[in-house]
Amino acid sequence: MQKNILIVEDDPDQLANYTSALRRKGFECWPAACEADVWNSLPSRPDLALLDVHLGAEPDAGFALCQRLIERYPGLPVVFLSSRTDEIDQIFGLRLGGWDYLTKPISTVLLAEKVAAVLRQQEPATTQAVLQRSGWLIDGQRMRCSFDGVEANLTVTEFSIVQALVQADGAVLSFDQLAERTRQSVVTNNTLSTHIKHIRHKFRAIDSEFQALVSVYGRGYQWLD
């Protein structure tokens, strides 16, 4: 099935180049120059969003757009593409739920391969059956977690962490193992801890007694029913 890629880039030449490269790779592309274009022309849920960070006069518009897209489409993979190379920008983008952060300039061939790789990395999760742990339903096909019918709005990274811990059947997963499961290019101990904190907060907002996600000092994390 053809994948739909939302591309948001304010430079018309770069937007045309990215769109052409991804179409040659076999993707359907929905190009947009700003956030208004996105909401005016987005026909349905995209399979992946490729976002520039600096859009027009707004230096962080891409970050804000990422939040709104994930809010509307939970589990949507977002890849940032920016000329800003500072580590703090990369970490911030990943903490927002971005799947990857690529820096410009980047060849269009490499960009197309990166997008294809992200979409391939999603495929194993979509084949998983629905699991139930501690009253929570973990739906690998839809990449959703819910409790009594109420869905937790998890990012792709957060869902990958939850799924890995649940599938470990009580085993402790180390930082390295969980970092590998997020399939991101930049993951630090601090960002993983932040993801865990966000997961607990989202789950406890729905299930106030949630205690299943446990920290094991010096070793990692585990899911205990």
Please write the tens of the pLDDT for every residue from 9-56.
999 999 999 999 999 999 999 999 999 999 988 889 999 999 999 999
Which of 177, 179, 143, 183 is CA-nearest to residue 163?
A: 143
**Distance between CA atoms of residues 39 and 200, nearest Å:** 31
The domains located in the chain, with CATH, are: 4-123 (3.40.50.2300), 128-223 (1.10.10.10)
pTM over 0.85? The answer is no
Please write the tens of the pLDDT for every residue from 83-121.
998 989 988 988 888 888 999 999 999 999 889 888 876
Which of 110, 125, 25 is CA-nearest to residue 75?
A: 125
Q: Which band of pLDDT confidence, cut at 50, 70 and 90, is reported for residue 186? A: very low
Burial of 129 (0-12, 13-18, 19+ CB in 10 A): exposed
pLDDT over 60 at 187, yes or no:
no
136-139 vs 144-147, strand pairing mode: antiparallel
pLDDT over 60 at 125, yes or no:
no
